[in-house]
Amino acid sequence: MRTVAIIGLGTMGPGMAARLARGGLAVRVQDTAPVAVERAKAMLPLARGVLDRLGVAVPDGGEGEVSFADDLATAVAGADLVIENVPENLEVKAAVYRALDPLVPADTIVASDTSGIPITELQRFLSNPARLVGMHWSNPPHIIPMIEVIGGEQTAPETVEAIVALIRRLGLLPVVVKKDVPGFVENRVLYALLREAIDLVERGVIDAEGLDTVVSWGIGYKLSVIGPMALLDMAGLDIYRSVSSFLNADLADRKDVSTLVTDKTDAGKLGIKSGEGLFSYTPERVAELQAERAKRLVAVRRALEGRE
């Protein structure tokens, strides 16, 4: 693969583009929203700076160029891989696939960065579903090295293999998800944690700041070094069996969305993007948080890789 097209920028697109270009690929990006294009142009130098701090080397052939296309046809012309990164709405994605289908050869790989829509659902909108695969990056994509690879019911094995090979070529960590379940693996685990976290705050067991401290400096600190399955062995399966025998029955298992979240979203309090969510943010504080979190994520990754 030499040329990649990214359709839809959102929050992930600029980081994905920077990381793919650092791997020597030519990257063309396209978005229908001018504000998203301008934001991406501003974010690309920042992402490249983070990659420099991570020590991600430029290949012998040089770093690839990131260019911006005005329309879908220009973006995907001659692309070896097309990554769909539009909003998490099945109708929006379906429209993109229908428009994309006649523009690229039948053997061009199409990857979706969907966070949870089953790939099998998306395959209905392409004439050659065997070439569609899930390529789920983790945010921020230029820092987090793990990428989930998900085949749908009709995805060809060689399509999965090609994406795995590309991820390895970039020096990143491919994880093949064996069953196409909603949310795949990362988000299923994350949303199980978030459901319990929101429930504890909503019930007044702890406040939002205290919850974050418990998770970041308790289980989060451990899990960055020891995965959940290894942690079970470390603690002892007998201990897990004993505690879960009474604790599982008391954990949050609601099927709807908490009113703590719905009330705020209904009021337009969406988080950083609106200046208020569970916490309040000024523009200056948002910039500080972005810089601070990127710095810490870089430091953690370097430590985990043994490059302190």
Provide CB contacts within 8 A for 86, sequence distance 6+.
Answer: 7, 8, 10, 92, 93, 96
* pTM exceeds 0.75: yes
Could you please report the per-residue DSSP string of 243-270?
HHHHHGGGS---SS--HHHHHHHHTT--
CA angle, residues 2, 33, 121, in degrees to nearest 5: 65
Structure tokens belonging to residue 193: 């944690």
* 3-class secondary-structure state, position 27: strand
Q: What is the pLDDT of residues 34-71, one digit of tens each?
A: 999 999 999 999 999 999 999 999 999 999 999 999 99
Domain boundaries, the chain: 3-177, 186-304
Would you say residue 136 has pLDDT above 90? yes
> Is 3.40.50.970 the CATH classification of the domain at 3-177?
no
Asked if 56 contacts 171 with a C-beta cutoff of 8 angstroms, the reply is: yes
DSSP 276: B
- Domain 186-304 has what CATH class? mainly alpha
Q: What is the pLDDT of residues 237-256, one digit of tens each?
A: 999 999 999 999 999 999 99
Identify the helix (H) or strand (E) that includes residue 133: strand 132-137
Whether 3-177 shares its CATH topology with 186-304 is answered no
Dist CA 290 CA 277 (whole Å): 16
